Amino acid sequence: MRELAIKYGCNPHQKPARIYRKNGELPLEILNGTPSYINFADALNAWQLVKELKEATGLPAATSFKHVSPAGAAVAVPLSDTLKKAYHLEGKEISPIATAYARARGADRVSSFGDFIAISDTVDLDTARLLSAEVSDGIIAPGYEEEALSILKAKKKGGYVIMRIDPGYAPEEIESRDIFGITLEQLRNNAVITRDSFSNIVTENKDIPEEGIRDLLIATITLKYTQSNSVCFAYGGQVIGCGAGQQSRIHCTRLAAGKADIWMLRQHPKVLSLKFREGLKNPIKDNAIDLYLRDDITEAELAEWKNLFETVPEKLSASEKAEWIRNFAGVALSSDAFFPFKDNIDRAAMSNVKYVAQPGGSVRDDEVIKACNTYGMVMCFTGVRLFHH
């Protein structure tokens, strides 16, 4: 098949719409559902991300995409009992592939509501069972176990989008897109991120353990498929905060750091012990936890929020939050372009960042390096900008 019609483009009034290859067959097959234009945009970016994560780390990888940027991405690192509870998986044992997706979804569960998923490996029964309980629009993977496929086909009253992609597919080196009737053409972003990408350490502290390199790989490869400007935080084998599509670098960092803080705080004993009213579904609980951790909750939100609990919980104080965040040693941060000011490092330090990767090349590199030295951080210059538009 060389062409596939789509119901409409980004919006219902944008007709006609289609996907096609100028040369050769499409490398994917629709196994279920009717994909939208945005589903395809998410799927094709998400697949590249997990394929590269698997190649870089040797571990099964997964990502949760929303509006052509990852809400989360992860590799198959075992879940602690604390994370299982935070991810609504308490007492369950799941496969490595399912674990990778649980981590990817767990990065930002509020944003992952209605996500499009990519899995680097054949989707197994555990992963399908996990997905059956989540609100999701579709999935792309190189294959599916028969029983897993049956479970996924039943989602969304039979309308769940399921794509199978040829894992050996390699695109042409030159890519193009049309904007306002004018064609732009470029060499596709074929930069390969490896452990060697982090060998140029420019700070006084040069000690990065294997876990730090792994998390820098995850953060940096994630940025390659995140709408720019973008900054990504990673920890424990997964993304924990991604700031995408901001016009200012510091706003990217603040957004990503704020999400990383919430990810850490979701594991606080007070959060894990919240007593919800009977019958609430996980997305409602996730939103309630988000409101519980926010400082800017409105009176209207507060009134609605109180009704979700058996008893109204006492909110965490600023000092309790800061003290808890200090427990997470060794957070990694990557930026898709250089840091123009040290304010990014100052904000990162508040979220306990230890390892930093960025291209370098700012006229204020010395100030940024000095800030990292002040906080005892390790910073690498990758020399590779990763803008994605």
The catalytic residue positions are 66-67, 229, 389
**Residue 167: Cβ within 10 Å count:** 15
Q: Judge whether 325 and 351 are in contact, CB under 8 Å.
A: yes
From CA 56, how far away is CA 72, in angstroms rounded? 17
**Residue 163: Cβ within 10 Å count:** 22
From CA 197, how far away is CA 217, in angstroms rounded? 9
Cα angle, residue 335 at apex, residues 265 and 188 outer, rounded to 5°? 130
Q: How crowded is the C-beta side of 243, counted as CA atoms within 13 Å? A: 27
**For residue 9, what are the β-bridge partners?**
none
Match 């990383």 to its residue by tokens. 260
Give the chain's length: 389
From CA 379, how far away is CA 357, in angstroms rounded? 6
Encoded tokens for 298: 């409105």
**Residue 156: Cβ within 10 Å count:** 15
Query: What is the C-alpha R_g of the chain?
Result: 21
Task: Give the residue from 359, 314, 92 showing the smallest Cα distance to 200.
Answer: 359
Encoded tokens for 216: 């820098």
| Beta strand 115-119 pairing with 136-141 | parallel
